[in-house]
Amino acid sequence: MEPVELDELSDTQAIQVGTQAREAASELRHRGAVLVALMALTPVALLVVELPTRTLLFNFLGSALSIRLSTDSLLVVLLPVLVCAGVDWVLRDHPDVREGEVLFLFPYWIVPGLAALAMADLLTRINTWGPWIGVLAIGIVLITVLVGAEYVSLSPNASGYGVARLVLTGVSYVIAFTLFTLIYSTRERSAISATLNFFVATFLALDLLAPHIIGLGRASIFAVITGLIVAQITWALNYWNISNWSGGMLLVTVFYVISGLAQQYFQEKLNRFVLIEFAVTATVALVVVWQLAEIR
Report pLDDT for 206.
Answer: 92
Report pLDDT for 4.
Answer: 46
Average predicted confidence (pLDDT) for the chain: 85
Task: Count how many Cα atoms sit within 13 Å of the Cα of residue 20 in the half-sphere of its side chain.
Answer: 9
Q: What is the pLDDT of residues 270-281, one digit of tens each?
A: 888 889 989 999
Q: Which helix (H) or strand (E) holds 64?
A: strand 63-69
Q: Average pLDDT of 8-16?
A: 55
Which residues is 69 bridged to in the sheet? 54
Considering only 15-24, 74-83, 115-124, 190-199, which range has the smallest mean pLDDT? 15-24
Neighbours of 50 (CB within 10 A): 7
At a CB cut-off of 8 Å and minimum separation 6, what does 179 contact? 114, 117, 118, 121, 197, 200
Residue type, 258: I
- Cβ distance 205 to 256 under 8 Å? no
Helix (H, G, I), strand (E, B) or coil at 67: strand
More confident residue, 55 or 119: 119
More confident residue, 53 or 120: 120
Report pLDDT for 100.
Answer: 84
More confident residue, 223 or 20: 223
Q: What is the pLDDT of residues 232-270, one digit of tens each?
A: 999 999 888 888 999 999 999 999 999 988 888 887 788
Considering only 45-54, 82-91, 198-207, which range has the smallest mean pLDDT? 45-54
- Cβ distance 76 to 122 under 8 Å? no
Q: How far is CA 223 from the centre of its chain?
A: 14
The highest-confidence range among 3-17, 22-36, 46-60, by mean pLDDT, is 22-36
Q: What is the pLDDT of residues 95-115, one digit of tens each?
A: 888 888 888 899 999 999 999
- CA-based nearest residue to 37, from 123, 187, 143: 143
Report pLDDT for 85.
Answer: 94
167-183 residues labelled b (16+ CB within 10 A) or e (exposed): bbbebbbebbbbbbbbb
pLDDT greater than 90 at residue 84: yes
Rounded distance, CA 71 to CA 76, Å? 9
Give the pTM: 0.86
Report pLDDT for 215.
Answer: 80
Q: Average pLDDT of 126-147?
A: 94
Q: Average pLDDT of 70-79?
A: 90
Rounded distance, CA 80 to CA 117, Å? 5
Q: What are the extents of the domains in the chain?
A: 12-159, 172-296
Q: What are the backbone angles phi and psi of residue 262, rounded to the nearest 5°? A: -65, -40
Q: Write down the H helix ranges in 186-243.
A: 190-208, 211-214, 216-237
What DSSP string runs through 264-286?
HHHTT--SHHHHHHHHHHHHHHH
pLDDT greater than 60 at residue 18: no
8 — pLDDT class (breaks 50, 70, 90): very low
Q: Which helix (H) or strand (E) holds 121?
A: helix 110-125
- Cβ distance 148 to 29 under 8 Å? no
